[in-house]
């Protein structure tokens, strides 16, 4: 399937507007952003990104890292005006923002619609009220439902982000959250494993042995089951796992949790391994062609060639081939 490539120009506004302190949160460490751009700096950031992008891409200017709609309306408008100039000049197609479910109302949506905001991502994190309470989110599932209904009413694309392994979470609760995301009308999602970051409330709980993060394998297994739900319901998966700052990668701020630089690759490797194994067990004889599109063929081969090596160990003749008629996260196993 040949689609125009999509790119976001990320503009991080960490903790600029959020009065809440979720147990897991230190946006400055997660995003690696210590300084907050003012509206006058936005143009330079956008121009710098545009200079590295090829023509023919679908480009959105994306305000991430904080709760955009929690800003004072005048400041929201100042940021939106700075971005909207590039839409008027046809250098970008729209604006994407991230925010909290309880920071959505009609006044805010009127402003966003006026400046061609094309997508709103809500940090739902969970739809289980117990998990939300234990995580210090400051909102409940009802707030998520109301925000989603309003966003859909304004015909703005809805994205819902979720986290796995929050305090009080279980695989059953996370699967239910994924199912709720589908029911709420999201067209896209992001899946993040919960990490214990230095100087957060979660670190204190961890040190007191009141919180135990998921292992990498647990996080992979949970995420694999969640991904199946989103694939089945044609929800676009924008991201699996954090892309943390170098500070987190080097262990300066990361205390514990399922952090892995190739987390998505681990998840999709396991997902494809499950499909390959079932297909071959159902038809044990013959040579096999295993197909995926060019973006996902390496996942089919597997993280560190895990799937390929497993087939070789079993003595099963096989060949991995690219088939760009297949969608992302889709694999086909057939006998040659």
Give strand ranges (E) for the chain.
6-12, 58-64, 94-99, 117-125, 157-164, 188-193, 196-197, 236-240, 254-256, 288-292, 318-322, 332-335
Answer yes or no: are the C-beta atoms of 169 and 212 closer than 8 Å.
Answer: no
Give the other-Cβ count within 10 Å of 281's Cβ: 8
Q: Any idea where the domains of the chain sit in the sequence?
A: 6-260, 268-335
pLDDT above 90 (res 57): no
Q: Can you tell me the distance from the alpha carbon of 210 to that of 203, in angstroms, rounded to the nearest whole number?
A: 10
pLDDT grade, residue 54 (50/70/90)?
confident
For residues 239-253, average pLDDT: 67
pLDDT value at residue 170: 98
Tens of pLDDT, residues 58-92: 899 999 877 899 899 999 999 999 999 999 999 99
Measure the CA–CA gap between 83 and 76, rounded to whole angstroms. Answer: 11
CA distance 200 to 135: 11
70 or 246, which is more confident? 70
pLDDT at 245 over 90: no
pLDDT tens digits for range 201-238? 999 999 999 999 999 999 999 999 999 999 999 999 99
Q: Per-residue pLDDT averaged across 161-170, rounded?
A: 98
Residue 326 is classified by DSSP as S
Q: Is the pLDDT of residue 264 over 80?
A: yes
Confidence of residue 259 (pLDDT cuts 50, 70, 90): very high
CATH code at 268-335: 3.40.1260.20
Backbone φ and ψ for 125, nearest 5 degrees, come out as 70, -45
Q: Write the CA distances from 96 to 102, 106, 188, 247, 290, integer angstroms.
A: 18, 17, 12, 26, 36
Q: Mean pLDDT across the stretch 151-178?
A: 98
Q: Taking the CA of residue 121 as centre, how many other CA atoms within 13 Å lie in the half-sphere pointing to its CB?
A: 21
Q: State the chain's mean pLDDT as an integer.
A: 90
CA distance 119 to 60: 9
Burial tier of 232 (Cβ tally within 10 Å: 0-12, 13-18, 19+): exposed
DSSP state letter for 161: E
Longest dimension (CA), the chain: 67
CATH 3.30.420.40 holds for 6-260: no
Which is more confidently placed, 336 or 315? Answer: 315
Q: How confident is the model at residue 187 (pLDDT cuts 50, 70, 90)?
A: very high
What is the rounded average pLDDT of the residues 138-153? 96
User: Taking the model in full, what pTM does it have?
Assistant: 0.89
CB-count burial class (<10 Å; 0-12, 13-18, 19+) for 107: exposed
pLDDT level of residue 24 (50, 70, 90 thresholds):
low
pLDDT at 247: 46
pLDDT classification of 16: cutoffs 50, 70, 90: low
Q: What is the pLDDT of residue 165?
A: 98
For residue 6, the model assigns a pLDDT of 75
Q: What is the mean pLDDT of residues 284-312?
A: 95
pLDDT score, position 34: 55
Q: Who wins on pLDDT, 39 or 34?
A: 39
- Average pLDDT of 10-17? 72
């Amino acid at each position: 399937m040949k689609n125009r490539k999509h790119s976001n120009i990320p503009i991080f506004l960490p903790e600029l507007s959020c009065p809440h302190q979720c147990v897991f949160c230190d946006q400055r460490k997660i995003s690696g952003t210590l300084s907050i751009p003012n509206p006058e700096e936005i143009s330079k950031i956008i121009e710098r990104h545009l200079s590295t992008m090829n023509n023919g891409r679908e480009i959105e200017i994306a305000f991430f890292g904080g709760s955009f709609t929690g800003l004072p309306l005048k400041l929201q408008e100042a940021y939106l005006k700075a971005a909207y100039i590039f839409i008027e000049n046809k250098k970008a197609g729209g604006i994407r923002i991230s925010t909290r479910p309880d920071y959505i109302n009609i006044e805010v949506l009127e402003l966003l619609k006026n400046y061609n905001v094309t997508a709103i991502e809500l940090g739902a994190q969970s739809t289980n009220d117990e998990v939300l309470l234990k995580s210090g989110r400051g909102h409940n599932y009802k707030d998520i439902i109301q925000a989603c209904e309003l966003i859909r009413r304004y015909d703005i694309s809805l994205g819902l982000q979720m986290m796995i392994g929050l305090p009080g979470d279980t695989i059953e609760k996370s699967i239910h959250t994924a199912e709720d995301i589908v029911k709420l009308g999201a067209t896209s999602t992001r899946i993040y494993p919960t990490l214990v970051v230095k100087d957060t409330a979660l670190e204190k709980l961890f040190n007191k042995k009141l919180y135990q993060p998921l292992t990498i394998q647990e996080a992979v297994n949970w995420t694999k089951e969640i991904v199946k739900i989103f694939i089945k319901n044609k929800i676009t998966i924008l991201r699996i796992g954090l892309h943390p700052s170098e500070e987190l990668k080097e262990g300066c701020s990361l205390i514990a949790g399922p952090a892995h630089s190739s987390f998505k690759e681990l998840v999709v490797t396991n997902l494809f391994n499950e499909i390959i194994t079932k297909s071959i067990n159902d038809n044990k004889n013959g040579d096999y062609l295993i197909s995926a599109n060019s973006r996902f063929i390496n996942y089919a081969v597997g993280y560190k060639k895990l799937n390929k090596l497993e087939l070789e160990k079993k003595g099963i003749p096989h060949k991995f081939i690219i088939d760009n008629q297949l969608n992302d996260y889709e694999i086909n196993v057939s006998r040659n």
